[in-house]
Structure 1
Amino acid sequence: VYSYVTLYVKDVPVSRFEPGHHLIVTGLLPHEQCLSVLNIVLNRTNDSEIILKSKERLIFHVGFRRFSSSPIYSQHSNGDKHKVCS
Structure 2
Amino acid sequence: MTTMYFLDLGFSPDGDAVHPVDRLGTLPSLDAAKAAAEQEAGKPLQWRWMEGRQVWRAELSYQQAAEISVGTRVERVNVAAGLMG
Greater strand share, 1 or 2?
A: 2
- Is the shorter-chain TM-score for this pair beyond 0.5, marking a shared fold? no
Pairwise TM-score range, normalised by the shorter structure: under 0.3
Bigger radius of gyration: 1
> Which structure has more helix as a fraction of its residues?
2
TM-score (norm 1): 0.20
